[in-house]
Each structure stands twice: as C-alpha cells, then as structure tokens.
Amino acid sequence: MIRIKIIRRKHPSPVGRRWPEGPDEGRGVSESVSQEAESVVAPATLIRPSARPHKWGSPRSRWEKDSWRRRALIGLGFLLALAGTLAAQEPPPAQPEAENTVVVTGASQQDFPRIAVQFELKRPDGSFIRDARKDEFRVAEDGKEQPILEFQAPVTSESVPTTIVLVVDRSLSMRAEDRMGSLKEAVATFLDRAPEGSRIAVVAFGSDVATICPFTTDRVRVRAAVDGLRPGGATRFYDAVAEALDMLDREKGRRAVIALTDGEDTSSREANLAVDVAEARRLGLPIYTLGLGTEEAIAADDLKTLAMTTRGQYYPAQRAEQLKAVYTMIAERIGAGYSLVYQSDHKLPDGTLRPVQVFHQSSKKAGETAVFIPGMVVPASGWSPLFLALTAGLGGLTLLPSWLRRRDPGPGRPTH
C-alpha cells in the first residue's frame, strides 16, 4: 500500500512583499513522499494566490494604476511634442507692413481760390522724410483730386519761406532757477537749427505784451532782443499768443507760433484759450506750446488743448535745462515741413467747411484737414440792377408798417 504524507504550510502575508511569480511558488503546498512510495501521484489542483481577485488599493492594483498613468502621460507628451513640431513648420501669419504717415499741420485760404497746405511725412519710427518729390503726392478737396500748382520740400535748392513768431515769458517767475538764462540759451540753439531763410519775430509778455523784434532773417538781431529780456510782472500768455496770430495773418507760406510760459495766465484782457484756438484755426497754422515747470503751475491741460486743436504739439519741460532739447526738436519739425498749393474748383466763397486730403504713394491713409471758406461776397461783375431793385423793394415793405403807424393818430388823439 502506498502512503502519501501531505504537509500544508500557510502562505506568507503579501503585505510589504511581492506576489509569487513562479509556477510552483504560489501553490502553498509542500509535498513530502515517503521513501516507501515507488511512484509519484500528482497532488490535487490548488488555487494560486495570484489568481485570486485583487482588492483595490492592494500593492499590485496600485502598481497597475500607476503604470496606466505613466503610459497616459507619455502619450500626452508625445501628442504635445507632435503638435509643437507641426506648428513650428507652419509659416507665421503675415504682419501688416508699416507705412509712412502724412501729417497735415496747417492750411490757408488767404489767396482763395488758391489753397495752401502744410504737412509732414514720417516713417513708422517717427523720423522725418525730407526728400520726397512732387509726383509722389496727390491732393483732393471734397473727395475730388486737384492738380498741385506749387510744391516745396524740406530738401530743395530753393529758399523755403518759413515765418515764425517766438512768444516768450518774461514774468517775474522766470527769475527762479535761472529760467530766463536757460530760455536765452535755448533760443540761441533754435536760431542755429531753424530752416534757412526763415523770418522770425519775438513777442514777450509779462504784465504787458510787446513785440521786441519784428520779422527778420537777421538771427543776430533776434538773439540780441531775447538776450535783453529781464524777468518782471504778471502773465498775459493768451494776449501774447493773440498778438502773434495777428502778425502772422498778414504773412504767407509756412507759418507757426512757438509759445512758452512757466505759469498759468493771470492777466490777459483781450484773449483767452477759446479765442486763440478759433483764430489759429481760421488762419490754418499750428501753435507749438511749451510748459516750463509742474503741470499744476502751468495749466498743462490748456496748453495741450491749444496745441492739439491747432495741429501743433505740446512740449513739457519740468526743468529749465530741458528747454534747449525742446527747442531743438521744434526746429527739426519745422524744418521737415512740406507745402503745396492747389486751386479749388469752387469759384465763390460760400461759407462752407471743405475737407482736404493729402496722399503719399507709400501710404494708403491720407493726411486730413479742413479749410473754412468765409461767406458770400460781391461777385466780380457786380450785382445786377434787377437784384438791387428787388432788394430795395423788400426793404421798403419792411419799413411800411412803422410809417403807417406814425401817420395814424389813433382814437382819442388830436389831429394836426
């Protein structure tokens, strides 16, 4: 008889250890056959621990979960890398090409129907183009292109008439920080850099307004007039600007006012901000304003308005030593100006505001302004006799009722 002795050993706990991997390792059965056995009988079939259902959170299930996450992250990283490679291969979107800019600084109808327009041509970086030709520009009024009769560029063999009035502050506050000394040095620098052939005048203001230098091309004379200034008095800034505009009303060609103050207007009697703006716009010329000191002391908002509404520019200078750089910039800007003249196809002044556009071949957008033409005037041929007779008749009819009332004494009034 064959005897088989089976010894069962409890399988060690898996906690903190690995699951059995080998085919015999997980049986949990150790079979010992007696020496008397002459043959081996296969043991009974047993369930492997590895084949048992795993509870979530067991070491093996956690390992499988982490493995799935790692595979997902690797796949996601691959997709992102592929998308980045495809995006890098695509050409970047085309950027709109920067264009030059036409900036209209003034327009005048003094020689109507001939209209004069002043403008600048700037690169995208803000620098000035000075050598553009006449055939590169077009001008239109009311949307209708007009022929250019006269044209002047900054770089030209001909003398470009530029008429400038320097309005300078000589009030008592200019004594502080040697502001007057800095002003004199800045004006000297401006005279050195102003366009050749420029005619320059100087208006100074304190408690009064005075033209200390009339229009002249003699720059030594202009500098001597400014060097003779002494601080004193109040501030009549707007009256001084009005005086400068009145002087330029009688001038032609390029015109500009450069007005400096170090304080708020306190004593003007005849003009104010609105009056100066209206007159400058009527003349079609720019006013460049300079504010020396803090924005509160100089009424910076009013100076900005005066400049922007007249197509000029406002330049702040908190310290007196900055004036030289400011006057240099203004001289450069004035020296970069173009001018052209065209003839309007409207023969009679009709009291309308006419839009004017200046185009350059390097820009799709035009520089724009508007010219105001005053109201009706007497035709060159004079009024017709019929028109005069009708006007006289209408005037008589308006006076007839009052004449009849004077002749009728009314009830209760004695007759003579």
Read off the pLDDT of residues 200-251 as tens digits, 9 standing for 90 and up: 999 999 999 999 999 999 999 999 999 999 999 999 999 999 999 999 998 9
Provide the b/e sequence for 287-303 (b: ≥16 CB within 10 Å).
bbbbbbbeeeebbbebb
**């005069």: which residue's tokens?**
388
User: What is the CA angle 193-197-201, rounded to 5?
Assistant: 80
Mean pLDDT in residue range 358-386: 74
CA distances to 18, 227, 368 from 327, rounded to whole Å, are 87, 16, 26
pLDDT band at residue 383 using 50, 70 and 90 as cut-offs: low
Over residues 255-287, the pLDDT tens digits come to 999 999 999 999 999 999 999 999 999 888 999
The pLDDT of residue 110: 79
The answer to whether residue 411 scores a pLDDT higher than 90 is no
Helix, strand or coil for residue 250? coil
Query: Cα separation of 45 and 47, whole Å?
Result: 7
* 189 sits in which H/E element: helix 179-193
211-219 — which CB contacts under 8 Å span 24+ positions?
Answer: 211/243, 211/247, 215/163, 215/247, 215/251, 219/191, 219/192, 219/194
The pLDDT of residue 240: 97
The pLDDT of residue 28: 46
Mean pLDDT in residue range 315-326: 93
The token duo for 12 is 């060690």
The pLDDT of residue 50: 47
Q: Under a CB-based contact definition with an 8 Å cutoff, are residues 93 and 100 in contact?
A: no
The pLDDT of residue 315: 95
Highest mean pLDDT range out of 58-62, 215-219, 294-298?
A: 215-219
Over residues 28-51, the pLDDT tens digits come to 444 443 444 444 444 444 444 444
Mean pLDDT in residue range 98-106: 89
The pLDDT of residue 300: 92
Over residues 110-169, the pLDDT tens digits come to 788 899 999 999 999 989 998 899 999 999 999 999 999 999 888 765 556 689 999 999
Closest to 365 in 3D by CA, of 119, 117, 101, 136: 101
Q: What are phi and psi of 306, to 5 degrees?
A: -60, -40
Mean pLDDT in residue range 97-122: 88
DSSP character for 395?
Answer: H
Burial of 67 (0-12, 13-18, 19+ CB in 10 A): exposed
pLDDT band at residue 106 using 50, 70 and 90 as cut-offs: confident
Strand partners, 292: 317
Least confident span in 53-57, 106-110, 113-117:
53-57
Mean pLDDT in residue range 25-30: 45
Over residues 61-91, the pLDDT tens digits come to 555 556 666 676 777 666 776 666 655 555 5
The pLDDT of residue 348: 77
- Identify the residue with better confidence: 110 or 176: 176
Query: Cα separation of 205 and 374, whole Å?
Result: 32
User: Percentage of the chain with pLDDT > 90?
Assistant: 46
CA distances to 23, 161, 301, 389 from 383, rounded to whole Å, are 127, 39, 49, 10
The pLDDT of residue 60: 54
Name every residue whose Cβ is closer than 8 Å to that of residue 159 and which is 6 or more positions away in sequence.
Answer: 196, 197
The pLDDT of residue 38: 42
The pLDDT of residue 135: 93
The pLDDT of residue 289: 97
Count helices and strands (H / E) in the chain.
9, 16
Name every residue whose Cβ is closer than 8 Å to that of residue 257 and which is 6 or more positions away in sequence.
Answer: 164, 165, 167, 241, 244, 245, 248, 280, 285, 286, 287, 288, 312
pLDDT band at residue 108 using 50, 70 and 90 as cut-offs: confident
Strand partners, 256: 164
- Identify the residue with better confidence: 83 or 412: 83
Mean pLDDT in residue range 171-189: 95
The pLDDT of residue 375: 65
Query: Cα separation of 367 and 162, whole Å?
Result: 21
- Identify the residue with better confidence: 35 or 372: 372
DSSP character for 128?
Answer: B
Query: Cα separation of 201 and 363, whole Å?
Result: 36
- Identify the residue with better confidence: 74 or 302: 302
Strands (E), 87-196: 101-108, 114-122, 137-141, 144-146, 148-152, 162-169
Query: Cα separation of 376 and 346, whole Å?
Result: 12
- Identify the residue with better confidence: 103 or 29: 103
